[in-house]
Structure 1
Amino acid sequence: MSFFEIIWEIPLSGLSFLFSRVLRFVMQALSGFYTSSSQKNLEWELVCAEFFKKDIKLLWAMTKARWNLHAIVAIVGAIEVKESLSIDINSANKSAKSWTVVVYTAPNLNTITSISSLTVSEKEQWQSLQLKPGKYLLGLRYYHWSETVEFPAVKADGVEVVAAQTIEAPANINNFYYDLIKRKKIIHICLNYYVFNLLRFKQWLPQDFVRRVFLPVPNPETKFYFGAIKIGEVLQFKLDALLLKNYDVYFSLYSRECFPIEWYPITEQKHTTSTRQENCLYVVRIHQKFSKQEDFINDWVNIAVI
């Protein structure tokens, strides 16, 4: 980084970070718009173009998470629980080869626990979780989904509060993400301007801080690699064969403002991404395929920016 870059990049990134914290707090305070106020009206909401039809909902999402572009994502909440929450896992098992349900507190989205195709028994129809009294949001992710998927029924303290819901799920169901960048505004630039430099200089910052800021609501079962790519740079992957045998490797590329640009699975041991003509961010998600497999070894993954 040149002296002239330091003059504007560091102060602007600092202001952007402060703005993002304030906006995140405001969005959390106003988060009632995305959750039902009545247990009688709860239903799964598919993350899709319709979900982001309102600009404020898009802004809310961009303050909360980094897009998972490789899964069908749905949310439901807030669910009021006194003791237990139960999920019909038969729906998930028949809908996708791999799936996770993450339980978050509402409205601040702190991760509490999760269940998945890797942790549940296929012999049981309902999976129950013991929770402290409170309100919770469920985040569902379906990987390798079927042509038709069913979102599961949910019970709170033994009473069904969310009915099962079936939708058609074509292979290109997530293509709406390509269009989100067309809605970029100055507020999105201000919100995430700091992120590029956060990742660009992550080796000089506390790693827990970088991860917590960049991945505020990660899937507990997924391993993440992330960073910044400057103009003209590419990512070069060298992956062990055992990794590809036992794990799915997903590559996602985002604009500096954190809008999705491209995404795809990586299935070969050596892979080089295309050269970009703008500063970008990347996330690599490594997701376990099977419940019984080789333990993950960090040396299996070599990702270099060149």
Structure 2
Amino acid sequence: MTKSEKITNRRLLGEIPAAFLSFIFFKAFRLLLRTLAHINASLNKKTVFRWLVYSDELLRKPLILPAILVTGPRWNPHAIAAGLGPFEVKESLAIEVKSCITSAQSWSIGIYTFPQAASIQHIPSHDLNVKEEWTQLKLNPGKYTLGLRYYHWSEPINLPAIKIDENKVTETQSVTIDDVNNYLANLTKRDHIFYRCLNYYIFTLLICQKWLPKEWVRKEYLPVGDTNNEFFYGVVYKNYSFCVEIKIILLNNYNIYLTVYNRSSLPVIWCEIQEEKYIIPIVKQDGFYLVRIRPKLDFISDPFQSDWMSVKLVPAVKG
């Protein structure tokens, strides 16, 4: 038995009871927020069709941060993020993808049911069918929300216009770089024992993932994950070093984004990996990591293979 396996077994003895309570708390609080959102949408029939961009201003609004941490809890600091909705669709939804193409080298738009936040479809920038100014989708009658992500963006940054059942409900919306991603450096200052309790169970879940159904673990860790991405994820330990080794074929054909989270699921380290070996010499706190692997726009090579990447955790050498 390796040292890493021994520390895992010792941790499980104390982790599992607290993790179980955290799991129940997370599910109950998420149900409460979804119920409140559904009631609010039912009472407020007048829908304001405007993109809400992740920013310091947005996070100052009541319940926004808790809502994010139970809906899309694996925060994405690599992209400009925005959401729109809820809105009601009878037959079709059309998105002005031309704005996306001119604003970012890589992007995706997720369509989700409301209030369940179940992923219906993700429109990726590398989809060869996205060539027209508008992309139209046929949807079942119901309420939906949209989630937009821009990677490698450039100004001007424009969020797309939307048509619902052939009616344009919002025009193209411009944002400036000063309006977005200005919150990331100070995001952990918002940390609270409440958020730690919400996502506490994820650390234990990932330790135990080899004994659990793979798809269930993935849905718990990535409830709204982009279906066009590949993902690597697991735990990180305090005072351990973290090493990612990547084959050159993966670097040539994919963009690779690493995020390390604390136990509240707030990002503490993030970067785009552009070399075959990337090392974090010492991790300062327990948590978990997520590697997002996105096909490049000119992707024409072989499909992704899991052995193109490996992750190692070893005790850090103290000076």
User: In the alignment, does 2:150 pair up with 1:142?
Assistant: yes
Deviations for 1:165-198, whole angstroms, at most 9, x for unmatched residues? 011126x942412322212222112111111111
Aligned partner of 2:127 in structure 1 is 119
RMSD after superposition = 2.1
The answer for unaligned runs of 5 or more in structure 2 is 1-6, 315-319
Question: Is the contact between residue 56 and residue 182 of structure 2 (CA under 8 Å) also seen in structure 1?
Answer: no
Question: Is the contact between residue 156 and residue 176 of structure 2 (CA under 8 Å) also seen in structure 1?
Answer: yes
Partner Cα separation in structure 2 for residue 184 and residue 69 of structure 1: 16
Deviates more, 1:292-301 or 1:156-165: 292-301
Provide the secondary structure at the position in 2 that maps to 1:78. Answer: strand
1:55-134 counterparts in 2 under 5 A? 55-65=62-72, 66-121=74-129, 123-134=131-142
- Aligned residue pairs total 305
Q: Would the alpha carbon gap of residues 225 and 34 (structure 1) be closer, same or farther in structure 2, given more than 3 Å must change?
A: farther
Question: Is the contact between residue 49 and residue 85 of structure 2 (CA under 8 Å) also seen in structure 1?
Answer: yes
Deviations for 1:131-181, whole angstroms, at most 9, x for unmatched residues? 0001110111111101221000000110011221011126x9424123222
Look up the equivalent residue of 2:258 and give its one-letter code.
F
Instruction: Give me the identity figure in percent.
Output: 36
User: In the alignment, does 2:301 pair up with 1:300?
Assistant: no
Instruction: With the length of structure 2 as denominator, give the TM-score of the two structures.
Output: 0.90
Provide the secondary structure at the position in 1 that maps to 2:63. Answer: helix
Instruction: With the length of structure 1 as denominator, give the TM-score of the two structures.
Output: 0.93
Look up the equivalent residue of 2:225 and give its one-letter code.
P
Deviations for 1:54-98, whole angstroms, at most 9, x for unmatched residues? 341111110112101111111101121111100111111110111
Q: Would the alpha carbon gap of residues 165 and 202 (structure 1) be closer, same or farther in structure 2, given more than 3 Å must change?
A: same
User: In the alignment, does 2:240 pair up with 1:240?
Assistant: no
Question: Is the contact between residue 245 and residue 310 of structure 2 (CA under 8 Å) also seen in structure 1?
Answer: yes
Deviates more, 1:287-296 or 1:116-125: 116-125
Partner Cα separation in structure 1 for residue 311 and residue 16 of structure 2: 26
Provide the secondary structure at the position in 1 that maps to 2:240. Answer: coil
Look up the equivalent residue of 1:42 and give its one-letter code.
F
Aligned partner of 1:231 in structure 2 is 238
Provide the secondary structure at the position in 2 that maps to 1:220. Answer: coil
The answer for unaligned runs of 5 or more in structure 1 is none
Aligned partner of 1:158 in structure 2 is 166
Aligned partner of 1:255 in structure 2 is 262
State the 4+ residue runs in structure 1 displaced beyond 6 angstroms: 33-36
Provide the secondary structure at the position in 2 that maps to 1:125. Answer: coil
Structure 1 counterpart of 2:20, from 14, 34, 42 = 14
1:203-242 counterparts in 2 under 5 A? 203-242=210-249
CA displacement at 1:5 relative to structure 2? 4.6
